Chain A
Amino acid sequence: MSALEIVQVVLYLLLLIAITPLLGGYMKRVFDGERTFLTPVLRPVENLIYRLSGIKPEVEQHWKEYTLALLAFNILGFLLLFVMQLLQGVLPLNPEGLPGVEPWLAFNTATSFMTNTNWQSYAGETTMSQLTQMVGLGVQNFLSAATGIAVVIALTRGLARKSAKTLGNFWADLVRSTLYILLPLALVFALILVSQGVVQNFDANVTATTLTGETQVLPQGPAASQIAIKQIGSNGGGFYNANSAHPYENPTPLTNFLEMFALLAIAAALTNTYGRMVGSTRQGWVIFAAMFALFAVLLGVMLLSEYSANPVLGVAGAMEGKETRFGVANSVLWAGATTSASNGSVNAMHSSLSPLAGGVALLNMLLGEVIFGGVGAGLYGMLVFVILTVFIAGLMVGRTPEYLGKKIEAREVQMATLAVLFPAASILLLTALATAVDAGLSSRLSAGPHGFSEILYTYTSATANNGSAFAGLNANTAFYNITLGLALWVGRFGVIIPVMAIAGSMVGKTVAPPSLGTFPTDRPLFVGMLIAVVVIVGALTFFPALSLGPVAEHFLLAAGQGF
């Protein structure tokens, strides 16, 4: 690694720490309905939206009402996007004259964008019309992110409020997170991207003749606006097939850095919002610290693995499949960030990472996308682990485990267990299915453990709502579109519903005032315990699978055999 690359990685980590309290404090004010610097501009818009749609933001909802509203809204969004894809051939803004999308692919894609995954079985520029990209996919990029944020805000209220019944109003939370957080950030970011040369137009593709005399198609379209939100909202679905490895999506080192930074910013800052809302910023920093430590250590492993000599190729820092313009370190940093953040955008092909680095990318997702994770989703996933940690270790201080003064009882343990169980079942069973049937096996590009990794990665990415692809696997088949669609649903709502149930049961509890006998959850020791529980639960569940994929490949590579 060059000195410049090291500086860049360190700078990245420092900026992540710096943005957390700033953005976190702002978001807290938004969700508590307090005044912010944008209020004068946006409050009238907000009120107009409420009036037009008949939302009464002050009417609070119970957890079931909140969850039902959320589900209804998401399912409606899914249906709209599904239908829009089928009909895009006859809809406007289709300069390339692309036909309607094939139904299973449309199902998969609609689910994927609704669940904030942005798994793409298709190539954007040759499949989706500009209308679908902008009004369909782009809108879901905002709304799925806002949904994730709403869930974590509801859970936060559930933990913070004392002996209450309601968790807030879903519609208001949705509107506020979109209007005050996602839109302004996306707007600013899109303008920066455009200034750096990212495409933003409604033109048809341009055909050019290269110096060697070959024709090249230069895809056009409203890319910048969608790239901004795909990074900020941890969506990750590229406008172009090559995602941020495409020069029109990611033209300069600056855009590369900012795009990488944007994909973790909100997730990191939400820990601070959480801390403020529960009345102790320390509680937020503890969670941030656990996420940050896991991120930094796993990133270190990836870099180490990538920069040690590859025994087969005989080079360190192999460039094949990496982002050649920005170097290996930037490819690895992006890979670490995007798999941690449940973002899924890529600037390099993860299949080309060294086995260990690819394994870590896989592990980032297998751990439940709780290392920062998707916007909202990462934090509520981590809070599930917090509850499990408090329950397992909290007994050891000789009291019924408490978190923030509230007792963790059978109901919460049950729901937290389900939130871990559903994704694990989805990943393991669907991967098992795909390795057992021809429909699953025939899509592989590689043989051996690497081929296994391709399949495991794909189902993990879908279940964890990450959306990044290992590359290699051809996922645009009916088998994969259907099973991955299933994984997307389970991975999203198999966690959201238990989390909302936890919020619902926690909100009614009384708060025991802290004493010397209380299990401390705001100290470094708790950070260590939380990390241990995340790693142990994730590792114990997936160690056999990992050992047959990346681990076997790593040892084989060491013995001189590559895939």
Chain B
Amino acid sequence: MEPKSKARPLFDAPIVRRAVGDSFRKLDPRQQARNPVIFVVAIGATLTTIILIADLVRGNTVELAFNAQIALWLWFTVLFANFAEAMAEGRGKAQADSLRRARRELVARRLVGSNGRQKEEQVPASQLRRGDLVVCETGDPIPGDGEVVEGIASVDESAITGESAPVIRESGGDRSAVTGGTRVLSDRIVVRITAEPGSSFLDRMIALVEGAKRQKTPNEIALTILLSGLTIIFLLAVVSLRPFAAYAEAESGLTRATTSVPVLIALLVCLIPTTIGGLLSAIGISGMDRLIQRNVLATSGRAVEAAGDVDVLLLDKTGTITLGNRMATAFHTAQGVAQTDLADAAQLSSLADETPEGRSIVVLAKERYGLRGREVAEPHAQFVPFTAQTRMSGVDFAARNGTPAMTIRKGAADAVKRYVQELGGAFPAGVEDIVNGIAKGGGTPLVVARDRDVLGVIELKDIVKGGISERFAQLRQMGIRTVMITGDNPLTATAIAAEAGVDDFMAQATPEDKLQRIRAEQAAGHLVAMTGDGTNDAPALAQANVGVAMNTGTQAAREAGNMVDLDSDPTKLIEVVEIGKQLLMTRGALTTFSIANDVAKYFAILPALFATLYAVGGGDGPLSALNVMRLASPQSAILSAIIFNALIIVALIPLALRGIPYRPVGAAAALRRNLLVYGLGGLIVPFVGIKIIDLLVAALGLA
């Protein structure tokens, strides 16, 4: 269950280079307006610059160097925020570039004409329309998204998934979807195109990772409203401060204003939540990026957010909770039958059985009793495939070289019982007990009969994945309930559910049951996530709050879900939920940090502004007592605060991109920890930071 990630170093040199350039490009007011908090900073920086230029022109050199530094740091604040966003986007863009290489103009072999008299024509892939049929043979790229309607082929999907092992795509069933830009490695398939040009999976993927069509998620919108509200409140506080100060200046007999416009702008910028404002979109983009690194594509940021809210996981048993398929784990003989006899018969009956269960029987017989697979493709051996009517499979041997004819059957207990009784045999009571015992234990019993004699029972068992029950325990602590979905009978399902440690299960579940279950959970106020691959999963995938479709699944499933897992690993649903939670936590933590920061900034700037007010007998006024940090000078204090405010954005970029450390613990524990780190930390850090910067500023003689 190790997450497979194509991890890029956080500060990849080419990405940083591009992000630096983008930071300046993003100064475009139209882009700035998307982010109200940083937009206010940009306006403040512009105003300060204009005042600076006006002072220069008028030759007013008072505080020129100081105001120049304020202007500089205000611009840095804007650029740093842009840089954070550009960094987050840059990682996606790098990924998009490699995807685009897969999309270069392809030539398609389109089939035209009606059935029977079809002929091929060469057309550019961009001219393909929905419903067109194209042929792809060994070495051909698949020109567009579609569904295999004929043939079977191995396909290299590494361009999309980064996974080099080829995958099988075949018509019918749940592995029929192919993606444009992938390549056929062997054989020939006919594909019906299902996407119009420009809206293919690859196109959507590029748009997604590039963030081109990125819309703000509901949560982001709400947070932006709060941040804008706070910005307006601080704007009021700062704007009203000018007349308040003027009153105090008049009352203290001061002739010079204590509050210049650049200084007021500096105060405003320090107070408004620039930290979270500057990092907000970076957090959102990098959340999606973290999903992409785990090979999961979300169709929208909304889906990632919803993943954090999920509190019910519907997990398919097979592949998620258990290893692929049931395996033979034991042979139980009927009374008086030798172990090897049973194993031999079981193996013979399964030699032609290509199902994983069949193969596991052959392997078990070999491992336990050294029975090797024999060449049975002789003309006298005839295999009987499994049918829904007989519910048995087996092999018939014709009489030969003195060996009498022999039939071997294996199958469900009641089917074999009927079979032997029809031949005049008896079904021993001991075998009945064995069968019941296995079923109660969650296994699947397969009874083996040779002619009219029941030899014994093969026990097939689901193998629960290692570590999965610990994983479910963690989820439970996080308040997430797991529901196992299985087609098994309730008895088997109960046993596996107990072994895996899921909270609930649905036995003998049909796709309709799944849909019903999702609706019921949602009606009770839960948010549900599920994975699926088949076409009949599509309605449930669409209904679920988070529907992760397997990339190997059908086109219908991929379109119904709001995420696609390129690795087709259903276990990843758990990681998806964790990434969603981490995204929300990061946002909350940095918001709290940002607001808590303001306390220190007040203590830096207000005494600096008002130190001279109401001064008695020359010295400092009463409000210099608020200078608890003992900052060197009023100018140095203001400068230190604004420098800290700008630098903290840069300092937190790695946190925004990576997300805050995530632990699978309950809400109360997570809250306590994050409050301590980001709330209390947010109160204390700026006091320390501003003091250090002040020492540097004073030492360098900047103010």
Interface residues of A (CB under 8 A from B): 388, 391-400, 405, 408-410, 412-414, 417-418, 420-421, 424-425, 428-429, 431-433, 435-436, 441, 447-449, 451-452, 510-513, 515-520, 523, 525, 529, 532, 536, 539-545, 547-548, 551-556, 558-559, 561
Chain B residue nearest to A523 (CB atoms) is B668
Residues in A with CB closer than 8 Å to B588 are 392-397
Given contacts A516-B667, A547-B623, contact A428 B236 (CB under 8 A): yes
Q: At the interface with chain A, which of B71-79, B451-459, B475-483, B638-646?
A: B475-483
Whether B599 contacts A510 by the Cβ 8 Å rule is no
Residues of B653-688 whose CB lies within 8 A of A:
662, 666-668, 670-672, 674-675, 678-679
What 0/1 pattern do residues 571 to 613 of B give for CB contact below 8 A with A?
A: 0000000001110110111011001101100100010001001
Main secondary structure of the interface of B (DSSP, over half): helix
Residues in A with CB closer than 8 Å to B526 are 512-513
Residues in B with CB closer than 8 Å to A397 are 585, 588, 667, 670-671, 674
Q: At the interface with chain A, which of B19-27, B147-155, B218-226, B315-323?
A: B218-226
Chain B residue nearest to A395 (CB atoms) is B588
Given contacts A397-B667, A398-B308, A447-B251, contact A555 B591 (CB under 8 A): no
Q: Which of B478, B613, B621, B678 contacts A516, CB < 8 Å?
A: B478
Whether A398 contacts B670 by the Cβ 8 Å rule is yes
Whether A513 contacts B524 by the Cβ 8 Å rule is yes
Q: Which of A424, A516, A520 contacts B477, CB < 8 Å?
A: A516
Q: At the interface with chain A, which of B181-189, B239-247, B369-377, B547-555?
A: B239-247
Residues in B with CB closer than 8 Å to A408 are 222
Chain B residue nearest to A543 (CB atoms) is B602
Given contacts A417-B226, A449-B614, A551-B626, contact A517 B240 (CB under 8 A): no
Question: Given A397-B667, A449-B251, A519-B667, 11 more contacts at CB 8 Å?
Answer: A393-B588, A396-B589, A414-B222, A448-B251, A512-B311, A512-B526, A512-B527, A517-B479, A541-B236, A547-B606, A551-B626
Q: Which of B237, B478, B621 contacts A517, CB < 8 Å?
A: B478
Interface check B271, CB cutoff 8 A: yes
Could you tell me the distance between the alpha carbons of A506 and B587 in the complex, rounded to whole angstroms? 23
Residues in A with CB closer than 8 Å to B662 are 398
Whether A555 contacts B622 by the Cβ 8 Å rule is yes
Interface check B616, CB cutoff 8 A: yes
Chain B: how many interface residues by the 8 Å CB criterion? 80
Could you tell me the distance between the alpha carbons of A518 and B580 in the complex, rounded to whole angstroms? 15
Q: At the interface with chain A, which of B205-213, B227-235, B343-351?
A: B227-235
Whether B525 contacts A421 by the Cβ 8 Å rule is no
Interface check B648, CB cutoff 8 A: no
Interface check B537, CB cutoff 8 A: no
Please give the distance in Å from B307's CB to the nearest CB on chain A: 10
Please give the distance in Å from B379's CB to the nearest CB on chain A: 64
Interface centre among A429, A451, A555 (most CB of B within 10 A): A555
Interface residues of B (CB under 8 A from A): 218-219, 221-223, 225-226, 228-230, 232-234, 236-248, 251-252, 271, 305, 308-309, 311, 476-481, 523-527, 580-582, 584-585, 587-589, 591-592, 595-596, 598-599, 602, 606, 610, 613-614, 616, 621-623, 625-626, 662, 666-668, 670-672, 674-675, 678-679
Whether B240 contacts A545 by the Cβ 8 Å rule is yes
Could you tell me the distance between the alpha carbons of A499 and B616 in the complex, rounded to whole angstroms? 47
Q: Which of B223, B592, B622 contacts A396, CB < 8 Å?
A: B592
Main secondary structure of the interface of A (DSSP, over half): helix
Residues in A with CB closer than 8 Å to B243 are 432-433, 435-436
Whether B244 contacts A544 by the Cβ 8 Å rule is yes
Whether B671 contacts A393 by the Cβ 8 Å rule is yes
Whether B668 contacts A520 by the Cβ 8 Å rule is yes
Could you tell me the distance between the alpha carbons of A525 and B676 in the complex, rounded to whole angstroms? 11
Interface centre among A410, A441, A525, A561 (most CB of B within 10 A): A410
Residues in B with CB closer than 8 Å to A547 are 606, 610, 623, 626
Please give the distance in Å from A432's CB to the nearest CB on chain B: 4
Given contacts A397-B671, A413-B225, contact A511 B623 (CB under 8 A): no
Whether A452 contacts B667 by the Cβ 8 Å rule is no
Q: Which of B221, B246, B523, B595 contacts A435, CB < 8 Å?
A: B246
Given contacts A397-B671, A517-B480, A555-B623, contact A392 B226 (CB under 8 A): yes
Could you tell me the distance between the alpha carbons of A491 and B295 in the complex, rounded to whole angstroms? 53
Chain B residue nearest to A429 (CB atoms) is B240
Whether B477 contacts A548 by the Cβ 8 Å rule is no
Please give the distance in Å from B264's CB to the nearest CB on chain A: 10
Whether A410 contacts B225 by the Cβ 8 Å rule is yes
Chain B residue nearest to A430 (CB atoms) is B240
Residues in A with CB closer than 8 Å to B478 are 398, 516-517
Whether B236 contacts A424 by the Cβ 8 Å rule is yes
Chain A residue nearest to B607 (CB atoms) is A547
Whether B602 contacts A396 by the Cβ 8 Å rule is no
Chain B residue nearest to A529 (CB atoms) is B675
Interface centre among B240, B243, B678 (most CB of A within 10 A): B240
Q: Show 5 residue pairs from A and B whose CB-CB distance is below 8 angstroms, ordered by the A residue.
A: A396-B589, A435-B244, A452-B251, A512-B525, A548-B610
Given contacts A400-B219, A536-B599, A540-B602, contact A393 B675 (CB under 8 A): yes
Whether B311 contacts A517 by the Cβ 8 Å rule is yes
Whether B222 contacts A410 by the Cβ 8 Å rule is yes
Whether B229 contacts A420 by the Cβ 8 Å rule is yes
Given contacts A428-B240, A536-B595, contact A414 B225 (CB under 8 A): yes
Residues in A with CB closer than 8 Å to B232 are 421
Could you tell me the distance between the alpha carbons of A540 and B231 in the complex, rounded to whole angstroms? 12
Could you tell me the distance between the alpha carbons of A547 and B245 in the complex, rounded to whole angstroms? 10
